[in-house]
Every structure is written in structure tokens, then in C-alpha cells.
Structure 1
Amino acid sequence: MTRRGASRLVIAALYAAAGMLHLGWPAPFVSIVPPWVPFAPQVVALTGLAELAGAAGLLQARSETIRIAAAWGLAAYALCVWPANVQHMLLDHARPGGGLGPVYHLPRLALQPVLIWWPLWAGGVIAWPFRNTNRKDPP
């Protein structure tokens, strides 16, 4: 199995687990949706479905088009939920005792670009930073 193949399995498993959590235990996710987002419970349910669909799409062996669309979808998803992560940090910071604190929130926010890059690389959309100029790394 290639690095991309193994990486696809890992990220698909993570997104599938997150999708199941969003659908099965939505309250913690609803509580961190920024107030300017309407219909928070429905948005959380849709994000769970998006995570499950993205995970399934990344695992498609027969359709490169579906795999690439899933990779783009998960990258866009990671970008779109960034405000909820910021909101979570702000809510925690306002709690007595500071909630989970910056030791949890700052790395989480700093790693968001990795969650944007990872599905794009694992899905075969981009090669950076592992480009091999002598041959194409198969997705």
C-alpha cells in the first residue's frame, strides 16, 4: 500500500468517526456553532453527513473523480468549520477557569491548515511536499 493509500484510510476513518459523533452526539457541536450560523442543529447534522460522504468518497478505488471531489469537499469542510473552532476557544476562554485553555485550542487552530491539506494530498489532488520528479506517485 502506498503512503497515500494508507493516509486515505486514516483520514477516512477519522472523518467517519467524526461524522458519526456529529450525528449521534450533536449537543457539543451545536454548542460551539457561531451565533451567526442559522439552524445550528441542522447544520451540525449536515456536517456529519458531509464527513461521512467525504470519508466514503476518499475510499473510492474505481472512481478518481469521486475521490478527488471528496478530497476537495473535505478540504472545504475543514476551512468552513474553522470559525466553529475559534468560537469554541472564545467560549472556553470566557468560562471560569478558562475551559480547556490555550494548550488545547491553539494547536487545534494551528493544525487546521493540515486538515485542509491532508485530504487534498491523500486524495491525489496535490503532490506537495512529497513530489517525486522522476515518477508520478499513484493516488
Structure 2
Amino acid sequence: MHLRPAAVPTSVPRTAGRLAFAAFLAVAGVAHLVSAGSFRAQIPPWLPAPELVIALSGVLELALAAALALAPRRYRPAVGWVVAGFLVAVFPGNISQFVTGTDGFGLDTDRARGIRLLFQPLLVALVLWCTGAWAARTSDAPPRP
């Protein structure tokens, strides 16, 4: 069986969004590596080896940033799904910061931490849109009867 690459929609706004997201991840990745202590607030208390988790997430963010910026067009939907999965995987850390009331990154009130939680699904939607991941998924779906 031969799989054809999915049609990957692209446009100036999608490209700008993808590259902006790549820059955001690159900055976050570097920050994880040079200022690891600042990220301690997002590590749930039940997670072992918080410093290792912070370092590994920083390296992963740098790799995802490179993939978003450099992946050939036909691979962008797959990259989008991986980045979306990463954002879902780190969401428990944001929830933990809210539930435990831990200050970090200027998030020093429950309101600020709560507002941050609302942005995570928007980030997932943005990365799925700007990489064409959602459109490629739905365009390959079998027709409805």
C-alpha cells in the first residue's frame, strides 16, 4: 500500500503562526536550560527528579522548535500533532501550579494561574491550525454516507 502525503494547507498567517510558535518554544527551551529553578513551580510534587524533568522538557522544546521551523511541508501535520501532544503532556504541571498555589513566572494569584490554564487549549488549537495538522486529518477522513 502506498500512502500519499496529506494535502497540507499553508498561507502567510499559518506560516507566521508556525514560526512564532517555533520561536516561543525555542525561548522556553533555552529558559528551561539556563534558569531551571524558575520552572520548579510547574513540576507537580508527585513527579520524581524535577530538575531532570525540567532539563528534558527544555531539550524537547528546542527539538520541537526546530521541527516546527524546518520540517518539510509534508511532515508539518505530524509535527503539529507531536507539539500538541507535548502541550497536553505538560498541562498537568500547569494544573498543579494552580491547585497548589505555587508562585512562578509572575503567576502569583489564583486568578493569574487560572487564566494561564485557559490559554493551553488555545495553544493546542493554534499549533494544530498553523501546521495544517487538523485540516490534514479531516481531509483524509472517509466521506460520510
Shorter-chain TM-score: what band?
0.7 to 0.9
**How many residues end up aligned between the 2 structures?**
124
Following the alignment from structure 1 to structure 2, what is the Cα–Cα distance between the partners of residues 70 and 44? 21
Q: 1:101 aligns with which of 106, 109, 112?
A: 109
State whether structure 2 residue 46 is matched by structure 1 residue 36: yes
Identical counterparts, % of pairs: 35
**How many Å apart are 1:7 and its aligned residue?**
0.6
Q: Are residues 83 and 61 of structure 1, via their aligned partners in 2, closer, same or farther at CA, if it must alter by over 3 Å?
A: closer
Instruction: Quote the Cα distance in structure 1 between the aligned partners of 2:114 and 2:129.
Output: 24
The secondary structure found in structure 2 opposite 1:36 is coil
Contact 2:128/2:134 (CA < 8 Å) preserved in 1? yes
Query: In the alignment, what sits opposite 1:4?
Result: 14
What TM-score results when the alignment is normalised by the length of structure 1?
0.78
Q: CA deviation at 1:64?
A: 2.3
- Show structure 1 runs of 4+ deviating over 4 A: none
Q: How does 1:80-99 map to 2 (within 5 A)?
A: 80-92=89-101
RCO higher in structure (CA 8 A, sep ≥6): 2
Are 1:55 and 2:55 an aligned pair? no
1:73 is aligned, of 82, 85, 88, to 82
Deviation at 1:61, TM superposition (A): 5.2
Structure 2: gaps (5+ residues): 1-10, 136-145
Uncovered stretches (5+) of structure 1, i.e. residues with no partner: 128-139
**SS in structure 2 opposite 1:111?**
helix
Alpha-carbon RMSD across the aligned residues, in angstroms, is 2.3
Q: TM-score, normalised to structure 2's length?
A: 0.75
Contact 2:22 2:64 in 1 (8 A): yes
Q: Indicate conservation of the 8 Å contact 1:4/1:123, yes or no.
A: yes
SS at match of 2:132: coil
Question: What is aligned with 1:136?
Answer: none
